Amino acid sequence: MRIVVAEDSTLLREGLVRLLAEEGHEVVAAVGDGEALLAAVEAGAPDVVVADVRMPPTHTDEGLRAALEIRRRRPEVGVLVLSQYVERRYANELLSGESRGVGYLLKDRVVEIDEFLDALDRVGRGRAAFDPEVVRRLMARSTRTDPLARLTAREREVLAEMAQGHANRAIAERLYVSQSAVEKHINAIFDKLELTRTAGYSRRVMAVLRYLGT
């Protein structure tokens, strides 16, 4: 894949560039602020952008705002944002638009190279990839809502796996159950959460996450 890396930490940026190159990806640009990120996407036409949420000059949400602008201008470009912390507002903002090819990982997850590369691959293929800790925090905050309280423990486990971006087969493998059992749980989840079924996998995940974010 053609990738643009946006990270103000030189050490992490160069580490990502080296890792991605070793994995056979083409890093078309590596930049350190939001404006440079937007320019690099226009010039480099990447498949995926890997961007830190907080970048210069204020180190608040410049990276996220650039990512949202990229989603608006070029929805075909996947966006995987990295954050030091679980920031609910940022996750919600990222999910508020088109859900295709979007991801949110904690920076600690980057050192788990296989997980990072798996998330990058999913985003590049137009799917979703969300950090398990982000999903856990969102779900924990939502237990006060009645619809989620109706889910069984197993349905909540399946929902957490869905929200991370895993496909049904992967969920079955991770939970040591059959794929048909996963499908049954998912149908029950949608019924209990009163969510309309959709054809796209990422759309399904985003529908759940949007619900959790309300």
Q: Give residue-wise pLDDT tens across range 46-89.
A: 999 999 988 888 887 888 889 888 988 898 999 999 988 766 66
DSSP string for residues in 156-199: HHHHHHHHHT--HHHHHHHHTS-HHHHHHHHHHHHHHHTPPP-S
Q: Give residue-wise pLDDT tens across range 89-146.
A: 666 666 665 657 888 888 887 888 888 999 999 899 888 888 877 767 666 655 555 5
Q: Is 98 helix (H, G, I), strand (E, B) or coil?
A: coil
